[in-house]
Amino acid sequence: MIRSAVYRLGILWVYANSSQLFLALHRNMFYKKIMAALPRVFRGSLGSFPARPLTYTTPRTYTTTWNLTPNIVQKFAIVVLVFLLSQVSVASALDSASIVYGSFSARHTAESVRRDLEQTVGKPLRIAEVTVHNRSYFRVLGAVQTDIPQLRSELKRVKSSSVPDAWLDFRSSDSSQAPLVVTVNQRSPPVPSQGTEDNTTDISEIPLEIEEPQRSGFWSLLTDTDFAFSGYLKSYATAQKELEIDQLPALLDDSNKLYQSQNSIRLMLDAFTGDKISWQLHYEISPVFYSHAIAGNPLADTTLTSSGNTYRLTDIKQTLGDPRSKYLVYQNLDRFNVQVSFDSGDLTIGRQVISLGSARMINPTDVLLPFNVTTLNQEYRTGIDMIRFQKPLGDLAELDLGIVLGEDADKDNSAVFARAQANWRGSDIAGTLIRFAGQNLVGIGTQSSIGNMGFWFESAYVWGDVDYHRSSVGVDYSFSTNVFGQMEYHRNGAGQSKASNYFQLADHVGYQKGGVFLLGKDYLIPSVSWTATPLLSLTASALFNLSDHSSFINLSGTYSLADELGMDFGIYLFTGDNLAYSPLPPYLTIQSEYGSSSNLAYGSIRYYF
């Protein structure tokens, strides 16, 4: 109770010191909750409702007392909230739930995804067989929990970091006797793009009971808003070999090994106001220590996550400290958004995350701040400023529309996109249209299976000031219950076939605004994962540049020390021709993509709270 009160006081303080627009939205939310106290009969949770609406016919009368003096803001809020209340449909809310990470028609596919996700989320997952419309599916599930607000917060974290289309599967501890608590104006849960399951829940055999309203008034707004605070602490220690430069005179060679301590504290606050509105605020601060001054050092930030200012309307100062020193602090206001659920779909406004594409490793259609392959901490994608509306079009279909706002909302810094996805005969199919930086993109993608192998294909064509195309195709296979392999081929039409021409890509719009980071034309990307024990997983992956014959090899492992405590370790190995020095005029020449980097070893420890 004390911790909950502290959270609520903290969020009130944040609201009081935020912008007037945010305060106005918050006040409107309060008045909505006052009005929503009238029909609290229909109280539930997102993702718990059936596909078909329930019908409630028993007449009831509700009364409440309005103790606040109406003003213009209140009257406006009442009009808006009456409209919102008119959009409602019925939903169920049972007393326990678990996160569904995906649903598949083949058990072997579910097994391979479970092992892969266990390394990402750091928790054991399970597989449950369900029958939907006389068809069997295999769900990848987390543990059953009764703390629904905390589970919602965890779902937000999962959707932001690794599985954007995860959803909650609600179950009663005793489904034959548990009452059903329903809520007005909800829609069906988000559609999972990975699986082929119709994610509706048949509750026709569960007896329906209606929860009576218990209270109304201003203070019910606080008690009806659930706050969930979470985060993590991470610390990476890295040792990186000095750069090797051919033909560099000894007098000019001042390169040294670089040692780093990369530390991150991520604080995440999620608030759930009733069943229609949720708020999200994530802030991360990362103190980094270097063995020597980093100004001009090309090794300094090759493994760090950099948000830049791309696709952000405005931002806080990202770097604190003097680059000439051995210590810098990076900060990132990574999430700051509000989501409102209507019967027609979900509207999200603010800094949020989006993941586009169907491929597993390199996504041609994902132009909005993808990770570089050498980034160490890839748990959360970088947030961008966006207005987004997601509308379900059926059991397994969705339309996703968005306006992405870059610096000063300039059209050359912003983007707009439309994405539609559906399931056809067990295969997920997606089509994407994007307008960014004066360029146009049209993309397609699919995820399916061929026999016992998973299969994916994704392709995008970009035209405008510069025309190019990118494609990825790959397969995965479970060799046993503990060994899982993947292979992907990527064609990068924006790149160069000769390393001597890589310098021409510095001003290429695809590299500046289009999420392209690979320099060559053709790549082969294999990966093998082995679950040695329930606590230890080992992975070997590689990225081979077939154009200049250089490669990046990543040997890594994860070990679970406790439920919320884990460690990671690994080695980055780079092969290829080194950088070359030319004296007249003095400059460095790139002779291969990955020969221009130096080997690195790392170890990390992470704690979640």
pLDDT at 533 over 80: yes
Question: What span, in angstroms and rounded, lies between the C-alpha atoms of 536 and 552?
Answer: 23
Strands in 343-467 per DSSP E: 345-352, 384-394, 397-404, 415-424, 427-436, 439-450, 453-463
Q: At what angle do helices 72-85 and 20-36 cross, to 10 degrees?
A: 60
Q: At 501, give phi and psi (nearest 5°).
A: -100, 5
Is residue 366 within 8 Å of 359, Cβ to Cβ? no
Spatial CB neighbours of 253, under 8 Å, sequence gap ≥ 6: 245
* 8 A C-beta contact, residue 288 and residue 321: no
For 445-464, what is each residue's pLDDT tens digit?
999 999 999 999 999 999 99
Higher pLDDT, 48 or 392: 392
pLDDT at 398 over 50: yes
The one-letter amino acid code at 77 reads A
- Higher pLDDT: 556 or 84? It is 556
Beta bridge partners, 603, equal 237, 569
Res. 32: pLDDT tops 50 = no
Which pLDDT score, from 0 to 100, does residue 586 have?
A: 73
Q: Is the pLDDT of residue 102 over 90?
A: no
Q: Is the pLDDT of residue 372 over 50?
A: yes
Question: Rounded to a whole number, what is the distance in angstroms from the first to the last CA of the chain?
Answer: 18
For 200-259, the pLDDT digits (tens) are 333 333 333 333 444 445 565 566 778 889 999 999 999 998 888 887 776 566 567 889
Residues with Cβ < 8 Å from 593, sequence gap 6 or more?
A: 499, 502, 518, 519, 520, 545, 548, 550, 576
| Amino acid letter for position 164 | P
Query: Which structure tokens are listed for 382?
Result: 């970088």
Give residue 492's pLDDT. 96
Of 517, 527, 513, 463, nearest to 492 by C-alpha is 517
Provide the CB-side half-sphere exposure for 34 (13 A, CA): 20
Nearest to 148 by CA among 28, 237, 239, 48: 48
438's torsion region: left (phi>0), alpha (psi -120 to 50) or beta?
Answer: left
Residue 219: its H or E element = helix 219-223
Task: Write out the H or E segment, with its range, that includes residue 90.
Answer: none
Q: What pLDDT score does 426 carry?
A: 86
Give residues with Cβ within 8 angstroms of 506, minimum separation 6: none
* Element holding 24 (H helix, E strand): helix 20-36
Instruction: Tell me the pLDDT band of 444, cut-offs 50, 70 and 90.
Output: very high
Note the pTM of the prediction, 2 decimals. Answer: 0.66
The tokens describing 489, both together, are: 């081929």
DSSP letter string, 269-301:
EEEEETTTEEEEEEEEEEEEEESS--TT-TTTT
DSSP category for residue 180: B
Task: Tell which wins on pLDDT, 489 or 246.
Answer: 489
Beta partners for residue 234, in sequence order: 264, 606
Q: In what order do the strands lie in the sheet with 167-171?
A: 126-132, 135-141, 96-104, 167-171
Mean pLDDT along residues 398-420: 93
Token look-up 């780079």 returns 574
CA distances from 456 to 405, 434, 527 (A): 30, 21, 15
Q: Are 140 and 109 in contact (CB under 8 A)?
A: no
The string of DSSP codes covering 381-407 is: PPPEEEEEEEEEEETTEEEEEEEE--G
Tokens of 244: 């090797």
pLDDT digits (tens, 9 = 90+) for 257-286: 889 999 999 999 999 887 788 999 999 999
- What pLDDT does 185 receive? 36
- When the pLDDT of each residue in the chain is averaged and rounded to a whole number, the result is 76
Please provide residue 112's backbone torsions phi and psi, each rounded to the nearest 5 degrees: -65, -40
Backbone angles phi and psi of 422, in degrees to 5: -155, 175
- Cβ atoms of 286 and 194 within 8 Å: the answer is no
pLDDT tens digits for range 547-560:
999 999 999 999 99
pLDDT of amino acid 103: 83
Which pLDDT belongs to residue 561?
Answer: 95
Could you give the angle at the alpha carbon of 95 between the alpha carbons of 45 and 205, nearest 5°? 90
Which CATH number is 225-608 given?
A: 2.40.160.100
pLDDT of residue 571: 97
3-state SS of 135-168? EEEEEEECCCECCHHHHHHHHHHHHHHCCCCCEE
CA 326 distance to own-chain centroid = 32
Question: Which residue from 404, 537, 499, 411 is spatially nearest to 116, judged by alpha carbons?
Answer: 537
Packing angle, helices 2-16 and 20-36, rounded to 10: 130
Token digits of residue 488:
């992907």
The reported pLDDT for the residue numbered 253 is 61
Q: How confident is the model at residue 381 (pLDDT cuts 50, 70, 90)?
A: confident
The Cβ-side half-sphere exposure at 257, using a 13 Å CA radius, reads 8
Residues in the chain: 609
Answer yes or no: is pLDDT of 54 > 50: no
Report how far residue 225's alpha carbon sits from residue 297's, in angstroms, rounded to the nearest whole number.
48
Residue 369: helix, strand or coil by DSSP? coil
66 falls in which pLDDT band (50, 70, 90)?
very low
Instruction: Please check the confidence at residue 29 and state whether its pLDDT lies above 50.
Output: no
- Looking at residue 529, its amino acid is S
Is the pLDDT assigned to residue 1 strictly greater than 50? Answer: no
Higher-pLDDT residue of 198, 338: 338
User: Which pLDDT does position 24 carry in this prediction?
Assistant: 38
As a 3-state breakdown, the chain gives helix, strand, coil percent values, each rounded to 5, of 15, 40, 40
Strands 579-582 and 245-246: parallel
Of 587 and 557, more confident: 557
pLDDT tens per residue, range 129-163: 887 656 777 888 888 887 777 777 788 778 767 78
Residue ranges of the domains in the chain? 225-608
**Distance in angstroms (rounded) separating the CA atoms of residues 419 and 437:** 18
